[in-house]
Structures are given as C-alpha cells and as structure tokens.
Structure 1
Amino acid sequence: MTGTTLHTPLFCDTALAARIERAEVDLISAVSRASVARSGVAGFVTPLARGAASFAGTDSPYTKVVGLGFGGVPTSAELAAVEEAYAAHGAPTSVELAHLGDPDLAALLSDRGYRLEGFENVLGLDLTVPDEPVAPAGIEVRRSGDDEFEAWLPVVVEASTHPDTQGVPWHDDFSAEAIETAQRDSAAAGLTRYAAFRDGVLAGGAEFRTVDGVAQLAGAGTAPAHRRHGIQSALLAARLTDARAAGCDVAVIVTQPGSRSHQNAQRRGFDLLYTRATLVKHP
C-alpha cells in the first residue's frame, strides 16, 4: 500500500493524453495484426489521422477506431472509407474518443450520424514518485508462461463473463468465446501475462505491456469464487514493480466509471486522467 506521503494528483495535459493514446494505438494495432496472423481472419489495421481503425473480427474487443483527436481531424472521405470497410464485414464503426482530443472531431462524427453509446475512464499513476507496492498476505503472483496458458485462460474468461455489477455497465457485452479469442490474440501479440494464486489455486490473471514509457495494465480478472481477497491488489503491485523496473514513468489502467475496478485503482493512488466516449455508427 502507499505510504503516508501527501498524494499529489497526476495532471494530464494534452501531451500526456496524446502519448497514452499513441500507446493505445500501438497495442490495438499489434493485437489486431496478431489476430490476422494467428487465425487468418480477414482483418485490417488502417492508419487514420495518427490513430488507427482496427478490425480483428466482428465480435472482437479489438475491432474499433482508436487514437483520434491528436493528429488532426480525418477528412470525410477518409472516414467514409473506414466506415465502408467495417460495413463490408457487417460491423458498425465504433470510435473511442478521448475528451482531451480535438473538439472538432466530436462535431464531425455527430454530423455523420454517430451516436454516443458509452464511456470508459483512463486512470494513471505517476511512477516517478517513489513507492513500494505490497501484495496482500497469502497471495502469490508470478509471470505466467506459455506452458500455463491453457490453465490461465479459463480463469480470465470466467472473470470477464462474470463482471462486478458496481458502476456503469460496459458498453460492449462479449461472449466467452469472443473473450477467449481475444486473449489468444493478445498472447500472440506478446503481452506479458501474470497469474495470481490463492492458497495454491490459480485464482486470477492479468496482462502487461510497455511502450514509450507507458505501462499498460490490461486484462485483469479474478475468478468469482476468489474475489474480495486481494487478488487484484496483488496483480497490480506486481505489474507496478515491473513497470518501474522497465523505466516507465506512467502506468495506465482503463475502467468503467464508478466500477469497483475504478474504486480500487483510485485507492491505490491512480488519478482520473480523462474519459473516452464510445461513438458508434451502424451500417
């Protein structure tokens, strides 16, 4: 846990938001390309105004447009081409738009018939501030290798299909099959996995990736039978330790507004940096 030092909130200007969004573009693009290589799905990653439009399958959480608003506003022709590419697969065009991005973009998307369908929060932790995260007693966390993947996977899938109900519901509701496919794609993209054990039982898992000094904390989940025992705190502590060792200056986690994950992250010292709105245009 954090010490008694007075906490100074991490301020997020447009430069930091742009760096985090670039990291998100890099992550989504890497996993989408890995999906194409692993499964042969007819996917794509299309650059768009320094962001990217990704298609990794109709039911994939990596099928979306990310990173817009920090490299100019795309033209109507560029947006039309992306919308047609998604429509060719029978998929809507879903744009995750940071509220610190160019405000003209929201107006443009609204004019093109996009509808607001959800929000998610981006929280960050200043890793330049000294800290010694401590895992709860009785919980063991370690990196999880390929030999453990088939045991790790069902735990994370079960956690994802039985989310905590606190807070605003997720905009997307993915099936167990879609989540399993997405986890295989992220593994193929090289994300680092962590496994948490409670009394010797594999009880939770999480993922980790770094790019441009940003530590991306993703994919965390605890099996329902093991919740409220500190699994998430232990997974977070392990990844923050590794993020500092990797030379990162900021750690980022994405949560639903008002959720238990949001609450736990703020208790751990994360600050709300900005919100992403999900804007969707159906074919």
Structure 2
Amino acid sequence: MVPLMSEQLYGTLERSESEYMLDRMDAIRERAGNPEGVAIERFNGALAFYSKSMPWPQFNTVKLFSEADIDVLDGIIEFYQARGRNPQFEITPGNGTKKLFQALHSRGFYQTGFHASLYVEPTGSSVPAADDSVRIRELGKEEADLYATIHCRGTGLGDEGIPYVARNNEVLMGRAGWRFYVAERQGIPGAVGVMYAKDRTASLTFAATLQEYRSRGLHTALLARRLSEARAARCELVVGQAAYASQSYRNMEKVGMKLGYTRATWSRG
C-alpha cells in the first residue's frame, strides 16, 4: 500500500533525508582527527553541513530550512563564507514560500535543480521476479574497498577517490541503523546499495551500478533486498531519492514506490 500524502507523512519524508545525513556526517566527523574537516551547525530549525575536504554540494548543504529560519539566514551564509564555501539550500514543497524564496534571491541564490523523494510501505511493495543469475549479499566492514570501488566507478569519480570513500563509509559499516549490500551477477560484483533505518523508517541512501552492468536488473534487485530487510525490521515506511524520471526513479516505481515530492535546490556562485 502507498498511503496518501498528509502533513504527518510529509514530515516523515523530510526528516528521513536529514536524519540519515546527520548520522552519516556525525560518523565521519568522529573519525580520529576529523580528517574531512566536518562541521555541523543548527540554526533554529535548519541544519547546515560542511566538509573542508569534500567540496561537493551534498556535503555542504542546508536542510530543513523554512520561512521561520529567515532571521538566521545571514548567520548560515556567514557559517559557510568563514570556511570559504558557498552552500546549497534544499527546499521542500512544504517549506517553500514566497517570502523564503525572496530572502534567498535577495542574497544571490537561485534555483539550480530538482530532486525527487519517493516512498512506499514495505508491506505494499511489488517486487519483480528475481533473476537467478543475480545475488545480493550484505557487505562487511572488511569489504569497504570493494564498496568504494563500485561507488566511485559507478558515479564517475576517479579511482583516486576510492581510499577516501572507503574510509568514510567504513565507519558506517556496523554502525547502528546502517546496512551495505553488493549485487553480483554470475559471481561478479556490479552494483552496491545502502540503507539506513531509524524510528520505523528506512532510507535508501545510496546506490550505484558499474556502467557495464546497467540495465541488467542489479539496481532493482538491490531495491527488492532492501525492501525485504525493511519489512523484516518492521519499518512502516521506505523512502528513497532520485533524479526525477531517471532510471533509478523508474526502478523505484517498478517496486511500488510513489512520488512524495520534488525538492528544489538553491545555489549561488
């Protein structure tokens, strides 16, 4: 079953995105010496993430920003400027108001994209028949390098990033709520997927497939496994994000997930 959108459900979807990111960045910050230079700051209801060594927008983003936080907007911008970084703001439909957009625009921000959030009750998902040649298994901490290799090559990052991705995800392997999976086709690893569960909500936080293994059922099989694990963990909702109408988005629809909302990304510079 896919429940109808409500204010309560909307809040659950929005919190799921911020909670897994908070736990992820906390774990990276807790590494000895904080080598990635992670900083996390709360401004009223907004949550600001920063990393010195990871300049990509997803690690330097503001979540949960609403009209009620406009009075601290300049403080948020100063938080990043003091660190030589421009942030991006992720604005969900429930928080997007004319006053909020005017405040961002007056400070040089403009909309640069959309991203979709999908959801389903795990008991109501419809999983396609499994391909016998595809096997999904959980990854152990000792396989962080294997995970990182597929992560980097599947997303177009250079191999020089593999050691860094491995160390930053190794700290999540075995951490409460986190589970990592690899999809193998005829015994050869070709895709990975990650899930974070908290408060009866499971977040499909990441997935990547090697170019040569795309369109061969690995991503869908990873979705099916994580939905099954969410059911076993008695989660009441599964949430995932994808670029709108992408292949990942379509695969999520195949297993019964429904569009919750598209959030807007606001950036500058």
TM-score range for the pair, normalised by the shorter chain length: 0.7 to 0.9
Residues matched between the structures, number = 260
Distance 1:254 1:26, change over 3 A: same
Deviation at 1:223, TM superposition (A): 1.0
2:241 is equivalent to residue 220 of structure 1: no
1:94 is matched with which residue: 88, 98, 103? 88
Could you say which residue in structure 2 is the equivalent of 1:4?
Answer: none
Matches within 5 A, 1:42-57: 42-57=37-52
After superposition, what is the alpha-carbon deviation per residue over 1:144-188, rounded to whole angstroms, capped at 9, x for unaligned? Answer: 001222122201211111xxxxxxxxxxxx766568645642442
Find runs of 4+ consecutive structure 1 residues off by over 6 angstroms.
none
**Counterpart AA for 1:15:** Q
- Equivalent-residue separation in structure 2 for 1:156 and 1:41 (angstroms): 18
TM-score (norm 1): 0.83
1:21 is matched with which residue: 2, 5, 14? 14
Deviation at 1:136, TM superposition (A): 2.2
Could you say which residue in structure 2 is the equivalent of 1:265?
Answer: 252
**Counterpart AA for 2:18:** V
2:171 is equivalent to residue 188 of structure 1: yes
- Equivalent-residue separation in structure 2 for 1:20 and 1:215 (angstroms): 10
- Equivalent-residue separation in structure 1 for 2:211 and 2:26 (angstroms): 32
Could you say which residue in structure 2 is the equivalent of 1:106?
Answer: 101
3-state SS in 2 of match to 1:91: coil
**Counterpart AA for 1:274:** Y
2:28 is matched with which residue: 35, 49, 57? 35
- Equivalent-residue separation in structure 1 for 2:184 and 2:92 (angstroms): 35
Q: Is the 8 A contact 1:135 1:233 kept in 2?
A: no
- Range that drifts further, 83-92 or 268-277: 83-92
- Equivalent-residue separation in structure 1 for 2:15 and 2:252 (angstroms): 22
Structure 2 stretches of 5 or more lacking a match? none
**Counterpart AA for 1:244:** R
Deviation at 1:128, TM superposition (A): 4.1
- Equivalent-residue separation in structure 2 for 1:175 and 1:106 (angstroms): 36
Could you say which residue in structure 1 is the equivalent of 2:263?
Answer: 276
Could you say which residue in structure 2 is the equivalent of 1:199?
Answer: 186
Distance 1:183 1:24, change over 3 A: farther
Could you say which residue in structure 1 is the equivalent of 2:146?
Answer: 151
- Equivalent-residue separation in structure 1 for 2:231 and 2:27 (angstroms): 27
1:66 is matched with which residue: 43, 63, 68? 63
After superposition, what is the alpha-carbon deviation per residue over 1:186-241, rounded to whole angstroms, capped at 9, x for unaligned? Answer: 44243311011111111111101012222101221111111221101111111000
Q: Is the 8 A contact 1:25 1:51 kept in 2?
A: no
Identity %: 24
3-state SS in 1 of match to 2:132: coil
- Equivalent-residue separation in structure 1 for 2:208 and 2:181 (angstroms): 11
TM-score (norm 2): 0.87
- Equivalent-residue separation in structure 2 for 1:159 and 1:90 (angstroms): 29
After superposition, what is the alpha-carbon deviation per residue over 1:43-77, rounded to whole angstroms, capped at 9, x for unaligned? Answer: 211113333101123424322111223xx61143x
**Counterpart AA for 1:91:** R
Distance 1:132 1:121, change over 3 A: closer
- Equivalent-residue separation in structure 2 for 1:41 and 1:266 (angstroms): 35
Q: Is the 8 A contact 1:22 1:51 kept in 2?
A: no
Could you say which residue in structure 2 is the equivalent of 1:82?
Answer: 76
Structure 1 stretches of 5 or more lacking a match? 1-7, 162-173
**Counterpart AA for 1:230:** G
Q: Is the 8 A contact 1:23 1:212 kept in 2?
A: no
1:121 is matched with which residue: 116, 119, 125? 116
**Counterpart AA for 1:84:** E
**Counterpart AA for 2:22:** S
**Counterpart AA for 2:4:** F
**Counterpart AA for 1:13:** S
2:219 is equivalent to residue 232 of structure 1: yes
